[in-house]
Amino acid sequence: MTADAVLSRELKALHEELSTSRRERPSPPADHTSVSEDKAARAGQLEDSAEEEQLKGELREFVKAITEFVDEAEKNVSAHPTASVVGALVVGILIGRLLGRR
């Protein structure tokens, strides 16, 4: 369960960083020269908000997938400890060979 706590702390930190960067982003200057420009700006904002909502949905799905992966990983490691050790050994060998070539 410690992995869930670490994951949730990291996600909260990322959320706070995102909120801070959004607040710090300068707002575009107001230009009241024509109504058509205002309509275009509003349409752009609607597109941005739709994109933001889509990104939020994708981020939620990503977080859910990571959480499920961590939960399953804990179960798999406890159910098959030998396979986990062998897998870690193979990954370590691959990383060593890739770094050794540079």
1 lies in some domain: no
For 60-101, what is each residue's pLDDT tens digit? 999 999 888 888 887 888 888 898 899 999 999 999 999 987
Position 66 in a domain:
yes
Count of domains forming the chain: 1
Report if residue 70 sits inside a domain.
yes
- Residue 70 contacts residue 7 (beta carbons within 8 Å): yes
Cβ contact 85:19 at 8 Å: no
What is the predicted pLDDT for the residue at 89?
A: 94
> Under a CB-based contact definition with an 8 Å cutoff, are residues 31 and 37 in contact?
yes
Per the CB < 8 A criterion, the answer to whether 14 and 63 are in contact is no
Note whether residue 25 is domain-resident: no
Can you read off the two tokens belonging to residue 64?
């859910």
Instruction: With CA atoms as reference, report the closest residue to 84 among 95, 96, 72.
Output: 72
**Higher local confidence (pLDDT), 30 or 58:** 58
